Structure 1
Amino acid sequence: MSGLHERHRAVSPEWLALYYRHPIELTHGEGRYVWDADGNRYLDFFGGILTTMTAHALPEVTKAVAEQAGRIIHSSTLYLNRPMVELAERIAVLSGIPDARVFFTTSGTEANDTALLLATAYRGSNQILALRNSYHGRSFSAVSITGNHAWSPTSLSPLQTLYVHGGVRTRGPYAELSDERFIKACVADLEDLLGHTRAPAALIAEPVQGVGGFTSPPDGLFAAFRRVLDRHGVLWISDEVQTGWGRTGDHFWGWQAHAEHGPPDILTFAKGIGNGMSVGGVVARAEVMNCLDANSISTFGGSPVTMAASLANLSYLLEHDLQGNARRVGGLLIERLRSVAAASPAVREVRGRGLMIGIELVKPGTDDADPEAAAAVLEAARAGGLLIGKGGGHNTSVLRVAPPLTLTVAEAEEGAAILADALHAAG
């Protein structure tokens, strides 16, 4: 065990997980590559959990951070903040939400906390609908709406949470149905649930479940849900912490795959917008955002430095059509990975869209999750010079592939080849 690892264990909680049998210290990065303290180079297919969205050490972002830090680093929301207003203006338009208001936080967890506060205050209800297999953050309220017990360490909760079907297409009681019948069954489940409870405040859902293993429903499910929710006055919160900013390729936001009835009432975001800076936020129409009848501020949300970084990052993303790149290179990568998976009896499914791809591993000849195999592939990929992630419900048997959106075709081929070797070595 390295000296730094020993020091980490001496001062950190036991539940603070580290990847790999011999954890690595990343010291610097450039583009889609990172280096560890021993000088080893890795192709980064995880981006610090989908957070390094454009590239490591992107000059436009580092320049914006340095220039803003040279002027003023902090002021709080008690003062006018030009970078915050400029970013809010851009996000309000991009969100698709009419008469949108934007509130900045420091993380996706805090963004979802804020969305829950808004919804429960607006509706006068502490009931929340969430999807099974979901993940919404680490705070007390966020774990209480997380439908994945591996990431929800307490049954205590400030909210009453009820879970509906729909987040996982290929497992569960509706897995064998066609997409159309799957949607109808999930809607019937929602209708039945609403018939047995008092009016909930909101349904919160990830368009693609991140920690859950990059699972998603058929396109149109949330539009069908929205018709039911609207009849009952229930708000729809779209958790776009992992799906936002064009990562899915086909759409700028995950909710747009379900856009028949327009945007959600509340949208939350974080991770990629800051390209590694600590940024999150909530977008809601003014009627919902302004419903609070008490004072509130944010000490660190909307920091001038994080806002400057996010503005530069967003401009780069839009000017270089990184959504289009995610669609094109992501499409090539997923097909390459499906070709690789065809030779491995341990792979149950390769799924995803854009640069958000999951490889689900099972014990060969069964549908039983195989977390040991996933851990082995993670180690083998690292040995081959590739960093990936893990997820997939309480079994953590899904390899998560989510490179920066500037990924090139050559890098996609390089990563797929390393993954092929890793699957072979671990199998």
Structure 2
Amino acid sequence: MTGDDLLGRHRRVLPDWLALYYEDPLEITHGEGRHVWDSEGNKYLDFFGGILTTMTAHALPEVTKAVSEQAGRILHSSTLYLNRPMVELAERIAQLSGIPDARVFFTTSGTEANDTALLLATTYRQSNTILAMRNSYHGRSFSAVGITGNRGWSPTSLSPLQTLYVHGGVRTRGPYAELDDRDFVAACVEDLKDLLGHTRPPAALIAEPIQGVGGFTSGPDGLYAAFRDVLAERGILWIADEVQTGWGRTGEHFWGWQAHGQSGPPDIVTFAKGIGNGASIGGVIARAEIMNCLDANSISTFGGTQITMAAGLANLTYLLEHDLQGNARRVGGLLIERLRAVGAQVPYVREVRGRGLMIGIELAEPGTGRAAPEAASAVLEAARAGGLLIGKGGGHDTSALRIAPPLTLSVAEAEEGAAILERALRGLQ
């Protein structure tokens, strides 16, 4: 079966809005370590990891073995029965969360995790008003779309929630961009206070510590701690969406919120993607009084199923035992400095940002500062031609390149990927 045949079949039976990368979409057939292969036999260095989901490595033997052994026993029983792997993974995550008296609920995705967090917050606070960040993304369900502050990923304005959008998720654009970090935070806090003075008390603020789909943008360190002080005075909850930033990817911290943790941990943390290394795991962590506020029965048919929990346990164990957070800090630091050196010589590169192995390269038209989505697409294609897979994102303009390799990335692989990216960027005219 050729790639063209598969593309035609895809278009006949799947939605038109289901996005595909590349002018000639590729089929990935297998992977190993930091590399994948397509159906034509081409090998690629993977710097996107299935949208930050292959966190440790493709075909990691420890995860493969755990999944195989669990599959030979039982795949699934639902949450109506005791489930040892689910309890064991929940215990480890609760301990790592920093949230006192933490409870953990497993879902199948980050979207479902954020849905659950919204259900908990609105029930606990008896309010359907949510604060969210501009340029944010929280999933594709009806409620998650309703709090997404990114026009390109929000197909409807209909929502069961009243959403109010807050400044601060993008440091280098917007009305406060010219301020220094301290004044930027102060301006965003004053804006938040003013907003709260014009609305009924919200249930929560939901925020990604680093905005993923938004192009790996973030406010200054400490922004959400300053927000938390304002929120806590009013009893408003803080939900940290760690779907992309969790598990040590940012290098300096295990959780993205810890760069803003001066006021203590969030009330609720959501997670997904990397913890399963490709297995469908999402979840919510909250202190007991919030998690237990629901007064109706609930289950999760596929959340916490034995085979995904086995994958998550093996993956988390490998990550901790091999200090992949430290590797993300070391190798990611080298990679971002290498890319900044390249960017300084390419007029299209407006900014190289990020931390650890979560790096964004924002492109703009030279001399104007206007977003350059066509340039981003051109670099995406050129990188693939050179044997490298990357992502892209940003606000409505999609002009940022997203770089997020598996956390086992070696220095040699980082240099190889940077060299391919350099050639792709220098090819912009």
Quote the RMSD (CA, aligned, Å).
0.5
Counterparts of 2:267 and 2:252 in 1: how far apart (Å)? 21
2:182 maps to amino acid: E
- Matched residue of 1:426: which SS? coil
Q: Deviations over 1:379-408 (max 9, x none)?
A: 000000000000011100000000000000
Match of 2:327 in 1: 325
* Aligned counterpart for 1:262 among listed residues 249, 261, 264: 264
What TM-score results when the alignment is normalised by the length of structure 1? 1.00
* Aligned counterpart for 2:402 among listed residues 389, 400, 406: 400
Residue correspondence of structure 1 range 357-368 to structure 2 within 5 A: 357-368=359-370
- Matched residue of 1:284: which SS? strand
Match of 1:335 in 2: 337
Match of 2:114 in 1: 112
Q: Note if contact 1:74-1:303 (Cα within 8 Å) is conserved in structure 2.
A: yes
Counterparts of 1:424 and 1:42 in 2: how far apart (Å)? 20
Counterparts of 2:428 and 2:139 in 1: how far apart (Å)? 31
Match of 1:294 in 2: 296
Q: Deviations over 1:56-111 (max 9, x none)?
A: 00000000000000000010000000000000000000000000000000000000
2:330 maps to amino acid: R
Q: 1:284 deviation in Å?
A: 0.1
Note the residue ranges of structure 1 that are not aligned, 5 or more in a row: none
- Matched residue of 2:396: which SS? helix
Q: 1:126 deviation in Å?
A: 0.1
Q: 1:366 deviation in Å?
A: 1.5
Q: 1:425 deviation in Å?
A: 2.0
- Matched residue of 2:361: which SS? strand
What TM-score results when the alignment is normalised by the length of structure 2? 0.99
Residue correspondence of structure 1 range 19-418 to structure 2 within 5 A: 19-418=21-420
- Matched residue of 1:135: which SS? coil
1:374 maps to amino acid: A
Q: Deviations over 1:20-44 (max 9, x none)?
A: 0000000000000000000000000
Counterparts of 2:261 and 2:150 in 1: how far apart (Å)? 27
1:310 maps to amino acid: G
- Matched residue of 2:206: which SS? strand
- Matched residue of 2:352: which SS? strand
2:208 maps to amino acid: E
Q: Note if contact 1:141-1:159 (Cα within 8 Å) is conserved in structure 2.
A: yes
Counterparts of 1:25 and 1:120 in 2: how far apart (Å)? 41
Q: 1:424 deviation in Å?
A: 1.6
Q: 1:426 deviation in Å?
A: 3.1
1:332 maps to amino acid: L
Q: Note if contact 2:214-2:394 (Cα within 8 Å) is conserved in structure 1.
A: yes
Counterparts of 2:43 and 2:424 in 1: how far apart (Å)? 17
Counterparts of 1:325 and 1:317 in 2: how far apart (Å)? 10
Counterparts of 2:114 and 2:136 in 1: how far apart (Å)? 13
Q: Note if contact 1:380-1:426 (Cα within 8 Å) is conserved in structure 2.
A: no
Q: 1:365 deviation in Å?
A: 1.1
Q: 1:370 deviation in Å?
A: 0.3
Counterparts of 1:15 and 1:364 in 2: how far apart (Å)? 31
Q: Note if contact 1:68-1:308 (Cα within 8 Å) is conserved in structure 2.
A: yes
Match of 2:11 in 1: 9
Counterparts of 1:55 and 1:303 in 2: how far apart (Å)? 22
- Matched residue of 1:97: which SS? coil
Q: Note if contact 2:348-2:428 (Cα within 8 Å) is conserved in structure 1.
A: no
Q: 1:342 deviation in Å?
A: 1.3
2:157 maps to amino acid: S
Q: Which runs of 4+ in 1 moved over 3 A?
A: none
Counterparts of 1:381 and 1:257 in 2: how far apart (Å)? 32
Q: Note if contact 1:33-1:44 (Cα within 8 Å) is conserved in structure 2.
A: yes
Counterparts of 1:393 and 1:194 in 2: how far apart (Å)? 25
Counterparts of 1:372 and 1:217 in 2: how far apart (Å)? 26
- Matched residue of 2:105: which SS? strand
Q: Note if contact 2:133-2:207 (Cα within 8 Å) is conserved in structure 1.
A: yes
Counterparts of 1:425 and 1:181 in 2: how far apart (Å)? 38
Q: Note if contact 2:210-2:216 (Cα within 8 Å) is conserved in structure 1.
A: yes
What is the number of residues matched between the two proteins?
A: 427
Counterparts of 2:155 and 2:409 in 1: how far apart (Å)? 36
- Matched residue of 1:71: which SS? coil
Counterparts of 1:275 and 1:355 in 2: how far apart (Å)? 15
- Matched residue of 1:238: which SS? strand
1:241 maps to amino acid: V
- Matched residue of 2:72: which SS? helix
